[in-house]
Structure 1
Amino acid sequence: MAEPINLNKFRKAKARADKQQRAAENRVKFGRTKAEKARDILETDRAKQNLDQSERDE
């Protein structure tokens, strides 16, 4: 005869595994390294500085 299983434990374990899988996919999709973030901040600062320097004085 088969071993009885607790369906609540099975359901919760499956939900946990699904959540971990979704989190792993999101880390790949949205995650950025510290260097990438710093580079983006540097680029926006340079663009802002260039725009400020290009402003016309009337």
Structure 2
Amino acid sequence: MSDPVNLNKFRKAKAKAEKEQKAKENRAKFGRTKVQKQLDKSRADKLSKITEGHLLKDKSEDDG
């Protein structure tokens, strides 16, 4: 016969491994430095300024 297995320890070890895997995925997905966040924000601001400059006037302003 094989040795008996404590199911509580097995269950807790499995949950811990899943939790560590989830944390690893979240670090890869959401973990960014402050400089990276600022760079993304500045690029988005620059893009919005460029696109706002190319917008046509609204018809409601022309009618008034």
1:31, distance to aligned residue in structure 2 (A): 2.3
Larger Rg: 2
Task: Quote the residue 1:19 is aligned against.
Answer: 19
Instruction: Count residues with an aligned counterpart.
Output: 57
Check if 1:28 corresponds to 2:12: no
How large is the Cα RMSD of the aligned pairs? 2.7
Q: Percent identity?
A: 48
Q: Which TM-score applies when normalising by structure 1?
A: 0.63
Structure 2 gap ranges (5+): 59-64
In structure 2, the CA distance between the partners of 1:19 and 1:55, relative to structure 1 (3 Å rule), is same
Check if 1:46 corresponds to 2:46: yes
User: Partners of 1:52 and 1:29 in 2: how far apart?
Assistant: 31
Q: Which TM-score applies when normalising by structure 2?
A: 0.60
Structure 1 gap ranges (5+): none
